[in-house]
Amino acid sequence: MQREPQSFDRVLSSMCSEPHPLAREAAERFLATNPGDPGTYPTVTALEEEALATLGEIAGLENPSGYIASGGTEANVQAVRIARNRAETRTPNVVMPESAHFSFQKAAGVLGVDLRIVPTDERFRADLEAVRASVDADTALVVGVAGSTEYGRVDPIPALGEIARDAGAMLHVDAAWGGFVLPFSGDEWHFGHAAVDTMAIDPHKMGQAAVPAGGLLARSDDLLDELAVDTPYLESTSQATLTGTRSGAGVASAVAAMDELWPDGYREQYRRSQENAEWLAAELEQRDYDVVEPTLPLVAAEISGSTFEALREEGWRISRTARDELRVVCMPHVTREMLASFLEDLDRLERGASVPVASDG
């Protein structure tokens, strides 16, 4: 087989990106290693410790506990699992805003917890009154999103922490996408800002690592220990990960990307992505589209279904919010030139759509 993967030229919908060249190279070197077996693969195990330490630094947590997961889904499932295992009730529930990622539905299904989905406010952030009204003595976990999938919004994490603490529940922050831009945006989102217990933060999204490299962080070892099972025939005695054999490529590429980019490279990337998002939002507004303001590098705007389809026909990889808005994620591979070319196509298609049908008279 000699086939090339598709290019990122017209990809505006993905939350993954072209890996940094050093991350790509590291991934290739570590393809055959398995951090799931530290006794046999100590080199990649040491790299995972490094990855964890840097993720902790990014997320305001000294001595972090956690591991490099397959992605945000696994990190979210594991966070729900920790909370469920710690809960003293037999009927635990999880309270989360409707903006939370669908991986929590998977977690609830697998783990048998009740999911209480509360509305967001007019700014697409968790409605605190609704969260307060939903927690009770059976609440094991409150979820806050720091960089939501649809609109890139950051929930009021410190306030959610207080609600969780008052309810005797844990707080999980899903920064799977936002984690590598939030250190520069001025938001309050991490362990240093609030009573956060666990966090999802994915190097394979804004972190420019190769897929698969997600991150699960926990405030302390005893939280991760909730997940540990004995591993009698391995050299290591227990395992807290969900999967057994894991990607050493993901771990090595995460370390390579973070070594190279944290913090200056990521700061520069945030600035570029955010400027692109604001530029696109302004251009769309000038054309009279309703635009949802990009507080992080993600733009949503109302365009017609037929224009959306026509853009896809032109090869643009774009996606829609649940309210049917166009959604453009300004990932590291998304350049100003790409966005300008997208707008040219949009203008041409809209002109075509509005040209009056020639009449005979």
Helix (H, G, I), strand (E, B) or coil at 176: coil
Q: Does 16 bind ligand 0PR (CB under 6 A)?
A: yes
Is 149 a binding residue for ligand 0PR by CB under 6 A? The answer is yes
Strand partners, 300: 292, 327
Query: How many positions of this chain bind ligand 0PR (CB under 6 A)?
Result: 17
331: left (phi over 0), alpha (psi -120 to 50) or beta: beta
Contact set for ligand 0PR, span 103-142 (CB under 6 A): 103
Buried b (16+ CB within 10 A) or exposed e, 181-213: bbbebebbbbbebbbbbbbbbbbbbbbbbbbbb
Residue 202 interacts with ligand 0PR (CB under 6 A): yes or no: yes
Closest approach, Cβ 24 to ligand 0PR, in A, equals: 17
Cα distance between residue 112 and residue 157, in whole Å: 26
Q: Which is nearer to ligand 0PR, 35 or 147 (CB)?
A: 147
Closer residue to ligand 0PR in complex, CB, 38/72:
72
From 32-40, 169-177, 303-311, 350-358, give the range in contact with ligand 0PR by CB under 6 A.
169-177
Cα dist. 232→224, 229, 238 in Å? 19, 9, 8
The SS3 assignment for 304 reads coil
Taking CB under 6 A as the rule, does residue 14 contact ligand 0PR? yes
Among 154, 173, 176, 326, binds ligand 0PR (CB under 6 A): 176
**Closest CB to ligand 0PR among 67 and 177?**
177
Which of 48, 174, 187, 283 is in the footprint of ligand 0PR by CB under 6 A?
174
Q: Does an H or E element contain 341, and which?
A: helix 336-354
Cα–Cα dist 38/61, whole Å: 24
Selected range binding ligand 0PR among 66-74, 160-168, 248-256, 297-305, rule: CB under 6 A? 66-74
Of 38 and 247, the one with the shorter C-beta distance to ligand 0PR is: 247
According to CB under 6 A, which one of 35, 214, 248, 250 is a site residue for ligand 0PR? 214
> Cβ(132)–Cβ(163) under 8 Å?
yes
Q: Which residues bind ligand 0PR (CB under 6 A)?
A: 14-16, 71-73, 76, 101, 103, 145, 149, 174, 176-177, 200, 202, 214
